[in-house]
């Protein structure tokens, strides 16, 4: 990897380049240096083990199931995902994500197997996971690098829908800790899907959005100026009512109030850039939003620099009808041996050293 990787900081209107692992400096005429860190989210698409769990609907992902999900396919999936995580964010920080939110993981065992893959084993990723009541056993979780992030606590928030006592879906998972010594809060979510149609399922995602907003409000009330990230597969786009109105988010940093969230992926969506595709249309369901406390221009504390949809060519379907779509594990019931049906997303923070 080159020791001079150019990128642009909109906040500083300066060209920065990598000078040491994780550190940045301005042009040669300026001696200021910066440390950089990456935060990511990835829906890894059906990361199941091969063992039948009678408590969930995982029959398709067993050796006898419709997907013929065996040890070979499982470990190929793990290796593929580890390749993505290894390369995620490396254009700015060689160690990749310091904190990585994940969706569609079956249990803690698959996370342990993932963290031990050769391509990322040396990062010593630690796991934060809790089993949720999702009928398919799909959970959200975190991997974090203890070199950058010091764990403090976690808390799970269930999605309770009034009048629907039988409704079960993923928890929203709050992780609190110190990122390079600064207290941070992360919320990872996988909101209810659009099964049954976008309009019919919309109220469920609004409930999830209101819960996420409540979590953030509670943190900010207890800790004024708190630094909070909300990441996940929201099954809604940045301009949908759940994101814009109920989370109170905007894609414009100018004039953003403390009660709002900044959504850097709103601009990507306006430009037609998505993270998942369906019926020849792109959506941008995968997003990372942040509180205004992470914005600024003096960089004395960790500050938002920029965002990215990680849609590198190796992650795209190479040919056929779905050429250019995310290169997934299965398509039309056929094993493809790809990565996921979603692209990951990342945000970068920097701080003057």
Give pLDDT tens digits for 48-78: 999 999 999 999 999 999 999 999 999 999 9
CA distance 119 to 85: 9
Say whether 80 sits in a helix, a strand or coil.
Answer: helix
Say what the pLDDT of residue 25 is: 55
Q: Token pair of 170, please?
A: 């993923």
Q: Is the separation of the CB atoms in 96 and 123 below 8 Å?
A: yes
Say what the pLDDT of residue 31 is: 72
Q: Identify how many contiguous H helices and E strands the chain contains and give both numbers.
A: 5, 20
Residues 6+ apart with CB under 8 A from 343: 274, 275, 276, 286, 309, 310, 311, 315, 326
Based on its alpha-carbon atoms, the radius of gyration of the chain, rounded to whole angstroms, reads: 20
Task: List, for residues 169-191, the tens digit of each pLDDT value.
Answer: 999 999 999 999 999 999 999 99
pLDDT band, residue 338 (cuts 50/70/90): very high
Angle between helices 108-115 and 71-87 (to 10 degrees): 60
CA distance 177 to 308: 24
pTM for the structure as a whole = 0.93
**For residue 189, what are the β-bridge partners?**
232
CB atoms within 10 A of CB 16: 23
Cβ burial, residue 71 (10 Å; 0-12/13-18/19+): exposed
Q: Is the separation of the CB atoms in 347 and 306 below 8 Å?
A: yes
266-289: average pLDDT: 96
Burial state string for 206-219 with b = 16 or more CB within 10 A and e = fewer than 16: bbbbebbbebbeeb
Arch. (CATH architecture) of 7-352: 4-Layer Sandwich (3.60)
87-110: average pLDDT: 96
DSSP string, 185-248: EEEEEE----TT-HHHHHHHHHHHHHHHHHHHHHHHHHSTT--EEEEEE-SS-TTSHIIIIITT
CB atoms within 10 A of CB 324: 14
CA distance 79 to 136: 23
Cβ burial, residue 336 (10 Å; 0-12/13-18/19+): middle
pLDDT band, residue 321 (cuts 50/70/90): confident
Say what the pLDDT of residue 265 is: 98
Say what the pLDDT of residue 30 is: 61
CA distance 3 to 98: 20
Q: What residue segments make up the domains of the chain, in order of their start?
A: 7-352
């Amino acid at each position: 990897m080159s020791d001079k990787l150019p990128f642009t900081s909109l906040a500083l209107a300066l060209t920065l380049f990598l000078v040491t692992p994780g550190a940045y400096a301005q042009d040669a005429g300026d001696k200021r240096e910066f440390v950089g860190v990456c935060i990511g989210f990835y829906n890894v698409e059906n990361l199941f083990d091969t063992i039948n769990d009678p408590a969930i609907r995982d029959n398709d992902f067993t050796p006898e199931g419709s997907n013929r999900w065996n040890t070979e396919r499982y470990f190929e999936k793990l290796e593929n995902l580890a390749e993505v995580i290894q390369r995620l964010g490396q254009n700015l920080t060689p160690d990749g994500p310091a904190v990585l939110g994940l969706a569609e993981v079956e249990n803690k065992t698959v996370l342990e197997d993932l963290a031990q893959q050769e391509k990322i084993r040396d990062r010593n990723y630690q796991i934060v996971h809790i089993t949720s009541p999702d009928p398919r056993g799909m959970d959200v979780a975190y991997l974090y690098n203890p070199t950058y992030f010091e764990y403090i606590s976690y808390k799970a928030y269930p999605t309770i829908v009034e009048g629907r006592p039988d409704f079960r879906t993923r928890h929203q998972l709050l992780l609190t800790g110190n990122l390079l010594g600064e207290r941070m809060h992360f919320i990872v979510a996988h909101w209810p899907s659009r099964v049954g149609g976008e309009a019919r399922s919309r109220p469920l995602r609004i409930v999830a959005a209101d819960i996420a907003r409540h979590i953030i409000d509670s943190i900010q009330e207890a800790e004024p100026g708190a630094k909070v990230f909300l990441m996940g597969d929201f099954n809604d786009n940045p301009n949908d009512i759940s994101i814009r109105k109920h989370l109170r988010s905007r894609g414009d940093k100018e004039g953003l109030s403390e009660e709002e969230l900044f959504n850097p992926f709103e601009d990507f969506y306006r430009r037609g850039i998505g993270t998942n595709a369906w019926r020849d249309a792109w959506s941008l369901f995968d997003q990372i939003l942040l509180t205004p406390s992470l914005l600024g221009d003096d960089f004395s504390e960790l500050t938002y620099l920029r965002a990215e949809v990680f849609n590198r060519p190796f992650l795209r379907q190479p040919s056929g009808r779905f050429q250019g779509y995310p290169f997934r594990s299965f398509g039309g019931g056929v094993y493809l041996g790809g990565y996921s049906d979603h692209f990951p997303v990342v945000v970068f923070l920097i701080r003057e050293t």
